Amino acid sequence: MAPNEPEMTPELVAEHGLKPDEYSRILKLIGREPTITELGIFSAMWNEHCSYKSSRLHLRKLPTKAPWVIQGPGENAGVIDIGDGQACVFKMESHNHPSFIEPYQGAATGVGGILRDVFTMGARPVACLNLLRFGAPEHPKTRHLVSGVVAGIGGYGNSFGVPTVGGSVNFHTRYDGNILVNAMAVGIAKTDEIFYATATGIGRPIVYLGSKTGRDGIHGATMASASFEANAEEKRPTVQVGDPFSEKLLLEACLEIMANGCVIAIQDMGAAGLTSSAVEMGAKGGLGIELDLDKVPCRETGMSAYEMMLSESQERMLMVLRPEKEQEAEAIFKKWGLDFAIIGKTTDTKRFVIKHQGLVKADLPIMELGDEAPLYDRPHVPTPPKPVIDAASLTPPATTRDALLQLIGSPDLCSKRWVWEQYDHLILGNTVQRPGGDSAVIRIGEGPKGLAMTTDVTQRYCEADPVQGGRQAVAEAWRNITASGATPLALTDNLNFGNPERPEIMGQLVGCLKGIGEAATALDFPIVSGNVSLYNETQGRGILPTPSIGGVGLIDDVKKSVGVAFRGEGRALILVGQTQGWLGQSMYLREICGREEGAPPPVDLAAERRNGDAVRKLILSGHVESCHDLSDGGLLIALAEMAMAGGVGAHLDAAPAGVPAHGLWFGEDQARYILACVEGAAGDVLKALDAAGVPARRIGVTGGDALKVDIDASISVSELSKAHEGWLPGFMAASAKT
Amino acid sequence: MRAAVLLFPGLNRENDAMRALQQAGGVKPTLVWHSDHDLPKGTDLVVVPGGFSYGDYLRCGAIAGRANIMNAVRAHAERGGLVLGICNGFQILCESGLLPGVLMRNSNLRFICRMQHLRVERNDTPFTNAYAKGQIIEVCVAHGEGNYTAAADTLARLEGEGRVAFRYSDSAGSIGGDANCNGSMNDIAGIYSERFNVLGMMPHPENLIETIMGGTDGRGLFESLAAATAKAA
Amino acid sequence: MKARVTVTLKNGVLDPQGKAIEGALRSLGVEGVDSVRQGKMFEVELATSDPERAKTLLKEACERLLANTVVENYSIELL
Amino acid sequence: MKARVTVTLKNGVLDPQGKAIEGALRSLGVEGVDSVRQGKMFEVELATSDPERAKTLLKEACERLLANTVVENYSIELL
Ligand SMILES: Nc1ncnc2c1ncn2[C@@H]1O[C@H](COP(=O)(O)OP(=O)(O)O)[C@@H](O)[C@H]1O
Ligand SMILES: [Mg+2]
């Protein structure tokens, strides 16, 4: 072994995020003390981010299969069959901690990383989405974080040249010290040209491609899994700087060499860079890997083996090429101005050997690095159930009108136009349903097929009842896709939770996963990729449990998709689904009554399925002009959004007997939609819904320039828009940080 | 019409431009790689599409504006050939000296992607003959640095010579105020060269050529080019 | 040898970034900053050690690429 | 009084802008530039004429707004 190795002390081990028993495991595994490079490799491979040591046991229970699933979890991204020899490749990933420290670069490199995951598999990215959670608006850092994160997501995606078409933004004080930045990318590939990380063949050259290696983000992956203390900003870990220009070149170069048949295996260098990419390639293929670090293109001088193995410099790839195609591949990379270097070879030893300056810096069993990673069945306790709140027990609002205006202009329900106008959502010329509705719809190539996409989670439901919250997150994504007319096919998740070493947090994770699994099964909506982000806590306080769901669906003809906007006057409005007036955990309860309480609305998965399938059928048969699912804020919020989007008002019938008015207008009962259809179609629509056993009733008609509710409420659409569009720009204008 | 679309590293709306040329202009354009020295023989129209050439890292369009192939574009323009620069393409044309002025950071300091009305200032050019004079069209913008800025004398000359192609307006055709999305001087969204054979514009007509994508007001530009080159041929 | 090139907006050219920074400093409670103008700075390493050649070279770099002389001025400092 | 603040990327932090400029200068035939790193420069006018107060003020402005000290260094020069 190499000389000048530092002594392994408990402190050094702890600094690498390894627990004493994990270190003992290492000693047992290799039969000696590790070198510093080896310690670094273990810390990278065995941290939460790479090994999923706290969640793996529970993730295994998720439904991941369906006839249309080509590749489930375990590769860079999930792959589903969308017919005609085409596949859709997608995944979501978090960049929470880096974005808190350096919002612009943290968010930008998050987008860069997820795009790489998608094009590594041979897919051309066609859309990005994101899900953002910020602290309370009053928190002094919030504005700065919103401004930087949004600019960073736009800065990377816009330059890379992929439309950012959807997302979700919420604020809550529980994210004050731990914001969430979850980015999703969606790509299209040919089903017979999907690329995987599995290396095959012995003695094959391992090729390094892309940008040079610097000292960026060393220990980034470890940081991403460590709790934040109040002094996180003082620690100043190195944050990576993104280079979307290089990534765009890397995309074009990779797709070109793939099309030319040069690639056997490919893996992007994401978290834990060279280490995890090389180990993964070897382990998946049952091979050994030997790297000669003297060959690695470096941006800085004097980099040690330890630094090179842990660097998280962006825009890099590792490949095994067909030997006869090596020169061709090199020429393509040179044409795109990117580095190309052979840095090692595959071996039959199943060992991971790192050489640098003539010395062996690491020599580890490659399979065990992944397979023997710790696996924890952490203790978990379920969240105690919350009492059901009876709508009738809550005082009605002074006026429905004021309640609606207040809700529609609240931070969580207001328009996110200020955000999505900073994203190029029109590039590539295929965006059929733009941001601002339920799900985005993009045409695939020249059509007529299209993809519908959405990101969702209602964290306050998850906190109150993890199982129902997990179900609801999946159901809402499924509903959003359905509301556009598309058939939901599969989902990706990003599980953002607090410290799993606390049994109540672990209980949230287990509960949410149970709910997600149940809903995914019932709705035929399997999980094909995902990401886990734990330890989102500051000073002992965890974030709200936030299992983000990114859903993808397919529509045969994008011309049949519908949006939320009213398309004219005299359209019949039909409410689909059962309304009890559920106000526990509702936006009404929180924003108007100032209480975050009670049990969240239960999710009846059979009803979701039945109602959604019926709605989709009516959309595709051309009976429905506009459709909106009901979620946060309930019926009146959804109607107001439809009115604002179309610039047309509506006249609504009074509440039926048995449901208190505020429960009807603001209740958050699940499995519901509003349909708008021309008068002549309304009878058929109601008949079809009835035949399908779906509860539905006519609730009003579009027309005029105001939303007329009952005696107290006539609100002009322009007044609604002013409140809806006003909050976020007004909030952000109070700052001008560049 | 024979059209060439230039491709610099980092551009990303080349396919959008090619699709518009094909669907609305009826031509199949040739893609020309930045390190080439010549344009394809018989080129009538050169399109410099949108994107982030060289990452726009120094100034938008600065590095591409000085590339070799721009000499060929300059020669083409001097011969009276048509040149269209859209978004980053406009920035590149300004940086290369083919058009006067510069595009600075948007006055709100943010990237902005949204639908935008334009007033077509004249319809007697190869780029706008399919529109009516004063017509209000709706296309989209998608840029962070589209704030057109020029010295007072340059601006006076542009106005005096009627070289403003499009101005930002609202749906009723009013100019100024919120309709100006980026702070451009005189609400300028696009300008012509002295001989009206070079047009640079920030908005994206190429993204509005199909009803399903939100409108067809961008078609007129490509139809105009097809008509103008058919006449010339 | 090393040099530093600074590129600044000409007087009279509006600098929205500078203005935004002034506003932001005020809203952060940093008082006493009257005005801010933002420019660019380049740290350049040159192969030559001849100051005259260095200056000629940098002037060329500025005129041809680093500055847009329609709206920007530049200055060169050898270090 | 006037001051100049320069903000530069820390050593080792990727500077895509500098890299792009190096490449562009080479392809323009401007030879002899070994490396370029791009930074920001702020020309600041201050209300105070006390150098000590000016420095404290600027330091605060840098720490809180002008520089992101995770990836950038700053330096202050009173003019
Ligand atoms: N961060 C974001 N990026 C892009 N689009 C966003 C973002 N946040 C919200 N949107 C868009 O705003 C609209 C409303 O969002 P949301 O209220 O979350 O919808 P829903 O309730 O249907 O899930 C959607 O079209 C969504 O895609
Ligand atoms: Mg919805």
Contact between chains at D37 and C42 (C-beta distance less than 8 A): yes
Residues B82, B4: Cα–Cα separation, whole Å? 10
pLDDT digits (tens, 9 = 90+) for A721-731: 999 999 999 99
Measure A631 CA to ligand 2 centroid, in angstroms: 6
C-alpha distances out from residue D34 to A169, A211, A301, D18, D38, Å: 45, 18, 15, 11, 14
What contacts B85, CB < 8 A, 6 or more positions away?
B47, B48, B91, B92, B93, B98, B99, B198, B199, B200, B201
From D6, D37, D61, residue closest to C30, measured CB to CB:
D61
Q: Residue A487 forms beta bridges with which residues?
A: A554
Task: Specify the residue with its C-alpha closest to ligand 1, atom 10.
Answer: A167
Q: What is the pLDDT of residue A23?
A: 95
For residue A96, how many other CB atoms are within 10 A of its CB? 25
The predicted model gives A171-182 an average pLDDT of 98
- Taking the CA of residue C71 and the nearest CA in chain D, the distance in Å comes to 16
Q: What is the pLDDT of residue B148?
A: 97
Per-residue pLDDT for A131 more than 90? Answer: yes
Per the model's pLDDT, the better-predicted residue between B230 and A682 turns out to be A682
Which residues of A are catalytic, by number?
49, 95
Domain range for residue C64? 2-78
Give the DSSP H/E element, type plus range, for residue D42: strand D33-46
Residues A728, A235: Cα–Cα separation, whole Å? 32
Q: Which residue of D has its CA nearest to B61?
A: D24
pLDDT band at A6 (very low <50, low <70, confident <90, very high): confident
Q: Go through B76-113 and write b for each residue having 16 or more CB atoms within 10 A of its CB, e for each that does not.
A: bbeeebbbbbbbbbbbbbbbbebbbbbbbbbbbbbbbb
Question: Structure pTM?
Answer: 0.94
Q: What is the pLDDT of residue A711?
A: 61
CB contact, 8 Å: D5 with chain A? no
Q: Provide the domain count of chain C.
A: 1
Q: Residue A92 forms beta bridges with which residues?
A: A184
Per-residue pLDDT for A228 more than 60? Answer: no
Measure B127 CA to ligand 2 centroid, in angstroms: 42
Task: Record the tokens describing residue A620, joined without a space.
Answer: 């595709």
Per the model's pLDDT, the better-predicted residue between A241 and A71 turns out to be A71
pLDDT band at D10 (very low <50, low <70, confident <90, very high): confident
Residues A41, D38: Cα–Cα separation, whole Å? 34
Q: Is A550 in the pocket of ligand 1 (CB under 6 A)?
A: no
The predicted model gives A366-372 an average pLDDT of 89
**Nearest atom, ligand 1, residue A132 CA:** 1
Measure A704 CA to ligand 2 centroid, in angstroms: 24
- Look up tokens 């090619």; give the residue: B18
The predicted model gives A326-339 an average pLDDT of 92
Contact predicate A151/A145, CB 8 Å:
no
pLDDT band at A235 (very low <50, low <70, confident <90, very high): very low
Q: Is A628 in the pocket of ligand 1 (CB under 6 A)?
A: no
Chain CA centroid to CA A505, Å = 20
The predicted model gives A217-229 an average pLDDT of 55
pLDDT digits (tens, 9 = 90+) for A558-568: 999 999 999 99
Per-residue pLDDT for A229 more than 50? Answer: no
**Count of residues in chain C:** 79
- Taking the CA of residue B136 and the nearest CA in chain D, the distance in Å comes to 39
pLDDT digits (tens, 9 = 90+) for D18-30: 999 998 999 888 8
Q: In what order do the strands lie in the sheet with A673-678?
A: A626-629, A673-678, A571-576, A696-702, A650-652, A706-708, A714-716
pLDDT digits (tens, 9 = 90+) for C54-75: 999 999 999 999 999 889 999 9
D-contacting chains (≥3 CB pairs under 8 Å)? A, B, C
The predicted model gives A324-328 an average pLDDT of 93
Residues B111, A158: Cα–Cα separation, whole Å? 9
Where are the alpha helices (H) located in B61-175, listed in sequence order? 62-65, 69-78, 88-95, 152-160
Task: Specify the residue with its C-alpha closest to ligand 1, atom 8.
Answer: A168
Task: Record the tokens describing residue A515, joined without a space.
Answer: 């709910």
pLDDT digits (tens, 9 = 90+) for B199-209: 999 999 999 99
Domains of chain B plus CATH, in order, are: 3-232 (3.40.50.880)
Q: Which CATH number covers residue D9?
A: 3.30.1280.10
Contact between chains at B56 and A249 (C-beta distance less than 8 A): no
Q: Which residue of B has its CA nearest to D19?
A: B57
C-contacting chains (≥3 CB pairs under 8 Å)? A, B, D
Q: Is A583 in the pocket of ligand 1 (CB under 6 A)?
A: no
Question: What share of chain A in percent tops pLDDT 70?
Answer: 96
Q: Is A153 in the pocket of ligand 1 (CB under 6 A)?
A: no
Q: What is the pLDDT of residue A240?
A: 85
The bound ligand whose nearest atom lies closest to the alpha carbon of A439 is 1
Task: Specify the residue with its C-alpha closest to ligand 1, atom 1.
Answer: A167
What contacts B225, CB < 8 A, 6 or more positions away?
B1, B3, B25, B45, B82, B84, B126, B127
ipTM of predicted complex: 0.92
- Name chain C contacts of A738, Cβ cutoff 8 Å: 17, 20-21, 24
HSE, CB side, 13 Å, CA atoms: give it for residue A212.
17
Which residues of B are catalytic, by number?
87, 204, 206
Give which of D4, D17, D28, D30 to mutate to test C binding, by max C Cβ within 10 Å: D30
Residues B164, B131: Cα–Cα separation, whole Å? 15
Q: Identify the weakest region by mean pLDDT among A58-67, A542-551, B4-13, D26-35.
A: D26-35
User: Which amino acid, one-letter code, is at B195?
Assistant: R
pLDDT band at A736 (very low <50, low <70, confident <90, very high): very low
Which residues of D, range 36-75, sit inside 8 Å of B by Cβ?
Answer: 38
pLDDT digits (tens, 9 = 90+) for A503-552: 999 999 999 999 999 999 999 999 999 999 999 999 999 999 999 999 99
Contact predicate A112/A242, CB 8 Å:
yes
pLDDT band at A337 (very low <50, low <70, confident <90, very high): confident
pLDDT band at A451 (very low <50, low <70, confident <90, very high): very high
Contact predicate A313/A211, CB 8 Å:
yes
Q: Is A122 in the pocket of ligand 1 (CB under 6 A)?
A: no
Average pLDDT along chain B: 96
Per the model's pLDDT, the better-predicted residue between A572 and B232 turns out to be A572
CB contact, 8 Å: D51 with chain A? no
Average pLDDT along chain A: 93
Residues A549, A495: Cα–Cα separation, whole Å? 9
